[in-house]
Amino acid sequence: MLKKKKGFNIVTKSAKCKLIRTGLDLLETKTAFNSVVAFYFALVNTHPEGVNIQVTENGGWRYYELLSVGENPKYPLPFNSFPVQLRRSAIRRAIGAWQSWNTNYQKWLHRKSKHKHHRPPVQPRQFSFSPSFDAGAWKLDDGASICLKILVKGQWKWIKFEYLAPNIANEWSKGAPSVVVKNNDAYIVFPLQKYVPATGGISRWAGKFITM
């Protein structure tokens, strides 16, 4: 995505596009992704110290990657051939989920005496995140079709999908897409960013959403 530039703000919105699946089951990829999220949630819960270390100092998602992959990892990732780009996305999801739970848990620990009878927040037992495809897990996006690395009958393959996209002006920069599966429908969602002069009017641009 875009980097900060002097004299400009960055505004963000999303483009939700109908994905044409041609009979492919994307739930297999989603299920595998969330299994990896669950693995890393447990790892973050075991070693929460990594959350507060900067990624540039081998903290954050990198901290948990080093614990689980490479030569003689302490906690080997039990999912063979899982794509590195999806793995890193899953680690970030796991960190976010753990931080959300921990915030509620800390509030419970320091609750007022009149709320002492309240039960502690329970950690999630399963996840249903939409897989996010970082650079390297997607390619050849031409605005109407894209290749995604997905799981097909236990094998990771490059599959080309067509999608129905709204008109996106050239000044908008696309970020890493996510695939959302709802009932019998599937969508690919692109985060979009562009520069606007820093005039104090960013609030009227931020958070807009376009759908196809």
Q: Are 9 and 181 in contact (CB under 8 A)?
A: no
**Count of domains in the chain?**
1
Q: Is 127 contained in some domain? A: yes
* Per-residue pLDDT of the chain in tens (212 residues, 90 and over written 9): 788 888 889 999 999 999 997 778 899 999 999 999 999 999 999 999 999 999 999 999 999 999 999 999 999 999 989 999 999 999 999 999 999 999 999 998 888 876 667 788 999 999 999 999 999 999 999 999 999 999 999 999 999 999 999 888 889 999 989 999 887 789 999 999 999 998 755 455 455 555 65
> Is residue 60, in this structure, part of any structural domain at all?
yes
- Give which of 90, 89, 47, 43 is closest to 68, Cα–Cα: 43
Establish if 123 belongs to a structural domain: yes
Q: What's the whole-model pTM score?
A: 0.85
Residue 1 maps to a domain: no
Cα separation, 104 vs 9, in Å, equals 32
**Domain contains 175:** yes
- Residue 101 forms part of a structural domain: yes
Task: Specify the pLDDT at position 134.
Answer: 92
**Domain that includes residue 104, residue range:** 8-211
2 is a domain residue: no
Residue 3 lies in a domain: no
